[in-house]
Every structure is written in structure tokens, then in C-alpha cells.
Amino acid sequence: MENPRYWRLKKQRYSLLGEVCPHCDSKIFPPRDICPECGGEAKTDFAFSGKGKVYSYTVMRDAPAGYEQNAPYTVAIVALDEGPMVTAQLTDLGEEPVRIGMPVEMVTRKLREDGEKKGILVYGYKFRPICFHENSQPASQGQAG
């Protein structure tokens, strides 16, 4: 289903590729070719670091169709270090309670599936807490979803 649509967005979904405005240096995600700050044309690619902080979050108990297998799951607004905010699920949370201001980083995970229908699995960005202990691996790195 809708294969071209997902294919078109793969640079955004897999690697947070946005734009930088050549006129005012605003960082733009998702790409929109017109700078929301100054209105100038902005078509220069910019790869975001994937680092940011939680601006708000919620735990969803009722998932819409296609997302039931993940429920309950946590969705957050992440303020990226470069400026823009994105809506994304949080993952690999372990026992750590989510809080506003929590530092997070982007990872790629499965977002949705079509259940019994023939179709593609949609992968894309989620965010996980940044691990401050350099020697320890994030606990659930291999876990999908």
C-alpha cells in the first residue's frame, strides 16, 4: 500500500534529513523548501544530529488501527537541539520515568504494520533516553518496536 509515499519520505524517516535556510540559517524539519522563519527559498539539505529534549509526552492506552501491537506506547514532542520540534514515539525506556526536559536521541524502529493486509512495514525515527554512562550499552538496543 502507498509504496511511493513511504519511499518519498525515507530520508526524513530514516535519517531526519531536513533543510537549512541559506538566508537566515534556520534549521528546518521536515523539509518544506520555504523557510518558515524568513520566507526565503530553502532547499539546502541538512542532517539533524538526532539529539533533543522532551517538550511533552503521553502514554497512549488506545492505539489506532495499525499500532495496536505497540500499545501502550509513549509519544513525545521532541525539541531537537537545532531548533525544530518533532512528534515521535519514545522507545527503550526501561524503568526510567519519562519527564519533560529529558535528553533523548533518535533511533530507527518499526512504526506500524498492516496486520493481515498485504503491505509494507513502516520504519522511521523514534527517540530513546541518552545513556550517560559511556561504558554501558543501552539496555534494549536489539529490541524492535
Chain residues binding another protein by CB under 8 A are 9, 30, 36, 55-68, 70, 73, 75-77, 84-89, 100, 111-112, 122, 124-126
Minimum distance, C-beta of residue 74 to another protein, in the bound complex (Å) = 9
Minimum distance, C-beta of residue 47 to another protein, in the bound complex (Å) = 17
Q: Which residues, other chains included, contact 109 with Cβ-Cβ below 8 Å and sequence gap of 6+?
A: 89, 91, 123, 124, 125, 126, 144, 145
* Closer CB to another protein, 7 or 137, in the complex: 7
* Closer CB to another protein, 88 or 136, in the complex: 88
**Closest C-alpha to 45, from 31, 35, 55:** 31
C-beta separation of 24 from 141 below 8 A? no
* Closer CB to another protein, 95 or 134, in the complex: 95
